[in-house]
Amino acid sequence: MEARSLSPRSSSKTTTTTNQKMNFARKEYEFLSEIGLSSRNLGCYVDGTWKANGPVVTSLNPANNQLKLWRVLLKITRKACELAVPAPKRGEIVRQIGDALRTKLQQLGRLVSLEMGKILPEGIGEVQEIIDMCDFCVGLSRQLNGSVIPSERPNHAMLEMWNPLGIVGVITAFNFPCAVLGWNACIALVCGNCVVWKGAPTTPLITIAMTRLVAGVLEKNNLPPAIFTSFCGGADIGQAIAKDTRVSLVSFTGSSKVGLMLQQTVNQRFGKCLLELSGNNAIIIMDDADIQLAVHSVLFAAVGTAGQRCTTCRRLLLHESIYQRVLDKLLDVYKQGGKILIGGSVIESEGNFVQPTIVEISPNADVVKEELFAPVLYVMKFQTLQEAIEINNSVPQGLSSSIFTRKPEIIFKWIGPLGSDCGIVNVNIPTNGAEIGGAFGGEKATGGGREAGSDSWKQYMRRSTCTINYGNELPLAQGINFG
């Protein structure tokens, strides 16, 4: 893999190496060397060795299309290696990864902002999320508990054992190029697995920088480097991971269309999938809601990360009695942020920008049923709570949802069996900005996977039910007597 920083967008691949290195050394890019990046970077880390071969591709800073990176692909080849140490010791390794991230929080956050395009506070927040996951998993490493189950047979004990799967493949998307790795890899490692990571094709520098940090911790502890493998590449590497029978679990973040194809491939070899796919998230504002709180929540949910979170609010359901009042306030907030009210156009600039857009539309329109990965908010009226819930549940996706109300009877219907059908069901907060302590994921076309907190760790291990006869006789279950 070869990484070079070019001057203007019009520069071609024939720009001299000297000029490229001079540009890479510009003051605003000096921090890259602090996280192990230079003007030349190999893009695949396999069994402790950086290597690369294959076609060359280009990565751009989406804000100005200037910083360019060349990357080379490599076919997946690696050896299996489980962490044959106790779980609390594995937790100690993850703790050290978190500490290493803390020392480079600002630099990595700046890199996320530079290469992915999100604002700097969100870039730093993304890296902080991995640190939080590391802290969570240190405690988790002492709580990978199985059940002890009463046996109906005398002198018998029944219990559950949780063991590593072996190898976990992680395929991440551009919008959270390192946080989703943290959700998966931190848990996979404390559960005793190896990790094979394919980062997003458009954010290879982040993949390289994160890999260097993790590899440094493994090397410091004299652990096999094959515990963590990473690739910068495209669909061919993702397909190789999906087809490889050595990869017991494939965690994929991306569109429902691609996720379905990947799931079919993995299912053909009886592998496991953890899918985090499309979201089409709604916020419902009832007539008793705190309007100011709701409006500020909608703003963050609709335009935060330029509308490129899977939990971004894409549908706003307003009770008819407050419809215009909320809409007027929301438009005022858009004005205060310097945003164009109705939008719908590309903003002419060096980078890739569109106008935040609000659209009044029927909930039955075909376009409303699809995930549009942009800051476009569909606004619609409703009359009753039941109608609002039906609209919320009417799309194929089922990731995140939220309602704004002060009435307990509405809250508990919303979170109950006749309420939202999503995996994330909020009250008086936005659809996005989830904490790591809860399980993250959704239903229906969102894929059904769960990452991060709660008992998500169970997906990264295999469960054995163990029955032990410590007596001298052989009583059978269900009272069967074989004589």
Q: For 14-46, what is each residue's pLDDT tens digit?
A: 222 323 443 555 777 889 899 998 877 888 999
pTM over 0.85: yes
Position 348 scores a pLDDT of 82
Q: Percent of the chain having pLDDT more than 70? A: 87
Tell me the three-class secondary structure of the chain, residue by residue. CCCCCCCCCCCCCCCCHHHHHHHHCCHHHHHHHHHCCCCCCCCEEECCEEECCCCEEEEECCCCCCCEEEEECCCCCCCCCCCCCCHHHHHHHHHHHHHHHHHCHHHHHHHHHHHHCCCHHHHHHHHHHHHHHHHHHHHHCCCCCCCEECCCCCCEEEEEEEEECCEEEEECCCCCCCHHHHHHHHHHHHCCCEEEEEECCCCHHHHHHHHHHHHHHHHHCCCCHHHEEEEECCHHHHHHHHHCCCCCEEEEECCHHHHHHHHHHHHHCCCEEEEECCCCEEEEECCCCCHHHHHHHHHHHHHHHHHCCCCCEEEEEEECCCHHHHHHHHHHHHHHCCCCCCCCCEECCCCCEECCEEEECCCCCHHHHCCCCCCEEEEEEECCHHHHHHHHCCCCEECEEEEECCCHHHHHHHCCCCCCCCCEEEECCCCCCCCCCCEECCEECCCCCCEECCCHHHHHEEEEEEEEECCCCCCCHHHCCCC
Using one digit for the tens of pLDDT, what is the confidence trace for 160-187?
Answer: 999 999 999 999 999 999 999 999 999 9
Annotated catalytic residue 276: yes
**Range in 240-249, 333-342, 401-410 with the lowest mean pLDDT:** 333-342
Active-site hit among 122, 276, 371, 451? 276
Using one digit for the tens of pLDDT, what is the confidence trace for 71-88?
Answer: 333 333 334 344 568 999
Residue that wins the pLDDT comparison between 214 and 344: 214
